Amino acid sequence: MSIQNSKTGEVLRAYTIDELKQQANLMRGYDLVALCAATSGHAGGTLSIMDIAAALYLRVANHDPQNPNWPDRDRVVWSTGHKAPSLYLGLAFAGFCPKEDVALLRKLYSPYQGHPHWLKLPGVEVSTGSLGQGLSIAVGLALAAKLDKKDHRIFCIMGDGEQQEGQIWEAAMEAGHFKLDNLVGIVDRNRLQIDGWVKDVMNVEPLEDKYRSFGWEVLTIDGHDMKQVVEALEKAKAGCGKPTVIIADTIKGKGVSFMENVAGWHGKAPNLEELNKSLKELGLDAQLPVDELFAHARKYQAEVERKLDAKMPKFHRNYWWNAADTMKVQMKPTRLGFGQSLAANGDDPRVVCFGLDISGSITISEFYANKPERKSRWISMGIAEQSATSAAAGLAKEGKLPVFGTYATFAAARNLDQIRTSICYGNFNVLIAGAHGGVSVGPDGATHQALEDCFAMCGLPNMNVVVPCDMVETRKATDYLLLKHVGPKYIRFAREATPIVTDEKTPFVFGKANVIRMRREVANFIEAFETKLESEYRNEGEDLTIIACGPMVPEAMRAAYILKQEFGYETRVLNLHTLKPLDKQAIVRAAHDTGVVLTAEEHQIGALAWPVASAITESPELYGTPIITGAIGVKDRFGDSGAPWELIKEFEVSAEHIAAKAVELMGVKKSKAVEPAAEPHLIASK
């Protein structure tokens, strides 16, 4: 069976083993072109799974490209969502979507998101990207099929590093317990993950014995031998009274000599030269319409840029970062500050850092880089955020100073109950780094863009939350939180290069806001502003206040610049780097002095906006005083794939959006529409 007409049962295409090999090779070529056009993505794992993808989508799974929601189709769950391009190519080669469209991978508004989203592309069964969840979804799909007395099969593709997630084993237990013989697990055992070899990061072997002990049938195969792949899939599909797992031995980067077995190619895309070399090695250099694919990607991108430009508020000049000869900024990733602090402070023997398989990217590896004497205090925990969180509490209980971090969404959401009960309830001294926060994470898309983490962290008793504004402040905040602050603490920072707007002299006091004032347009952006601790600042009778945290502080500063140049408005920018405990006095004073308070956060609106609003409404000093408020942030929606600065525009969190909102609020202030006696004293405006 396989690709068929769901109405007539006619098989539309039957591939031989040799044809499947050929198709898999072509799919590898398209994959690399798509990654190159996207300039990001995962080469290693998409190449290791490609033979299985070809066998599954072109021969083994029953489905109908004309009827993607056919109730009797087989379901394929990609638990390892980062291999999305292989899924898209499986669908494209089966006829669900045009092959050339995979060149739109990871672009804004594209159905070909960095991680699969079933609501965007017919044929994608479920949305994934947070590792370890797919097998549980597959268990649900298999249970539903049993309840409905349906015969279709559920396939679930996983990675071997992914086996470190505890949830996998809860699902494995469930599948074994319920004897789900309609469920087929597939493990792409390429032996590598991000931080290195799986056996070194956190050994998962012997996988066969583990699955067997959970009541599964186990088939071990060479995942690049097409005959073995097809036979195993067909055998597993036939069922044997219990779930089957196919453990496929594969090579990460398969087919491209310089990518094979190299951990560095996990999350990397080839450049043009590397692409040409790869296509040559695959014997595809003359076979793929490479130029047409790139042209397709470029045309789509031009349309994206046109749409984005139309969305942007317009002013008399272009104030975008480094667009003019004045107000130049240097940009550096905020995450570097975190690593710099760990490198500088890691000699304290209490400091213990956990690796969660994203160590280089979030810079926590700086703790031990070139410092072999610290190696015993570097503990690789693998992709197991929940257990690591509770283990950190255990270390803290014994007087250690544990630090762990990963994408903010996995550092503060996946393990929320562990943070709540193991760490916060016990009030333990643990530093959690929520890295890659906000939409500016970019092309990875919604699953990797933490937009709710600060809600969760600020909502926990005993927790302290700092969101520094640039690389320098990230270093200072880490210095403070690591060694001086005792208790649960969360630091959230961004991935991309953001403007450096503070220096060594800029004050950083935990729990105390800074006032930033735009003075004059000069050569360097940073020198155009004066920064003081809010407690040392004297009211200058500004027109309005913008309160921001994280990389929204530079945007708020640029908004202050726009407002001054274009409208003559003076803005008090408050850098509220500490979200908890909140500097209520600074907020109340700013509200009192200016009467207009606009918040700006790279988060769902409310982690900053609501505490600020509540500080204002609860303040006896402001009872009866009309305060006009507004909020800039993500408006109750999930993220999207796209380039970081494109997303800043799409999600309306740029300086231009802040400035436009400020102008609107100033219109209200000037019209004196707010009468203290007649109106409620807080006018919320979004």
- Which positions lie near ligand TPP, rule CB under 6 A? 44-45, 48, 80, 82, 129-132, 159-162, 188, 190, 192-194, 252, 266, 357-358, 383, 406, 410, 414
Residues 6+ away with beta carbon under 8 Å from 545: 571, 572, 573, 574, 590, 591, 593, 594, 596, 597, 598
Residue-wise DSSP of 226-272: HHHHHHHHHHHHH--SS-EEEEEE--TTTT-TTTTT-GGGTT----H
| Cβ at position 229, least distance to ligand TPP in Å | 16
Bond prior to 206 in cis (omega within 30° of 0):
yes
Minimum Å gap between C-beta 574 and ligand TPP is: 34
Shortest Å, Cβ 193 to ligand TPP: 4
Compute the least distance from the CB of residue 493 to ligand TPP, in Å.
17
Task: Give me the least distance between CB of 195 and ligand TPP, in Å please.
Answer: 8
Amino acid at 195: D
Helices 17-38 and 43-55 pack at an angle, to 10 degrees, of 150
Q: Which is nearer to ligand TPP, 162 or 452 (CB)?
A: 162
Q: Which is nearer to ligand TPP, 45 or 644 (CB)?
A: 45
Neighbour count for residue 600 (Cβ, 10 Å): 32
Tokens coding 204: 């998962």
Residue 34 CB, nearest approach to ligand TPP (Å):
16
- Residue 529 bridge partners (DSSP): 518
Could you give the CA distance from residue 649 to residue 647 in angstroms, rounded to a whole number?
Answer: 5
Q: Exposure of 315 by Cβ count < 10 A (0-12 exposed, 13-18 middle, 19+ buried)?
A: middle
- Comparison of 160 and 652: residue with beta carbon closer to ligand TPP: 160
H or E stretch including 634? Answer: strand 627-634
- E strand or H helix at 464: strand 464-466
* Residue sitting closest to ligand TPP (CB): 159
Minimum Å gap between C-beta 131 and ligand TPP is 4
Rounded least distance, CB 132 to ligand TPP, Å = 6
Report residue 125 as tokens.
């069964």
CA distances from 610 to 217, 452, 595, 686 (A): 52, 13, 17, 12
Least separation in angstroms between CB 160 and ligand TPP: 5
Q: Identify which of 394, 398, 405, 350 has the alpha carbon closest to the alpha carbon of residue 374.
A: 350
Between residues 107 and 448, which has the closer beta carbon with respect to ligand TPP?
448
How far lies 297's CA from each of 280, 306, 635, in Å?
A: 22, 14, 29
Instruction: Please identify, using beta-carbon distances, which residue of 130 and 531 lies nearer to ligand TPP.
Output: 130
Distances (CA, A) of 564 to 351, 627, 663: 46, 21, 11
Which lies closer to ligand TPP via its Cβ, residue 41 or residue 499?
41
489-492 sheet: strands from edge to edge: 378-380, 351-355, 401-407, 431-435, 489-492, 464-466, 578-580
Closest approach, Cβ 622 to ligand TPP, in A, equals 43
Of the pair 83, 517, the CB lying nearest ligand TPP is at 83
Distance CA 410, CA 447 (A): 10
Nearer to ligand TPP, 115 or 580 (CB): 115
Identity of the residue, 190 or 502, whose beta carbon is nearer to ligand TPP in the bound complex: 190
CA distance 678 to 126: 52
Q: How far is the CB of 650 from ligand TPP (least distance, A)?
A: 22
Distance, in Å, from the CA atom of 635 to the CA atom of 604, rounded to the nearest integer, reads 6
Closest CA to 469 of 630, 614, 329: 329
Q: Taking the complex as a whole, how short is the minimal distance between the CB of residue 403 and ligand TPP, in angstroms?
A: 17
Minimum CB distance to ligand TPP, residue 137 (Å): 14
Q: Which residues contact 651 (CB under 8 A, 6 or more apart)?
A: 439, 634, 635, 637, 639
Nearest residue (CB) to ligand TPP, 12 versus 262: 262
Question: Residue 172: which of 128, 134, 123 has the closest Cα?
Answer: 134
Determine whether 87 is exposed, middle or buried from the number of CB atoms within 10 Å of its CB (0-12, 13-18, 19+): buried
Q: In angstroms, give the least distance from the CB of 170 to ligand TPP.
A: 14
Contacts of 235 (CB under 8 A, 6+ apart): 219, 244
CB of residue 35 to ligand TPP, shortest distance in Å:
13
* CA 89/CA 27 separation, integer angstroms: 6
Give the distance, in angstroms, between the CA of residue 345 and the centroid of all CA atoms in the same chain: 28
Residue 515 CA to residue 185 CA, distance in Å, equals 55
Is the Cβ of residue 194 or residue 515 nearer to ligand TPP in the bound state? 194
Q: Which of 475, 484, 482 is nearest to 506 (CA)?
A: 475
45 or 630: CB nearest ligand TPP: 45
CA gap 394, 444 in Å, rounded: 33
**Distance of closest approach, residue 263 Cβ to ligand TPP, in angstroms:** 8
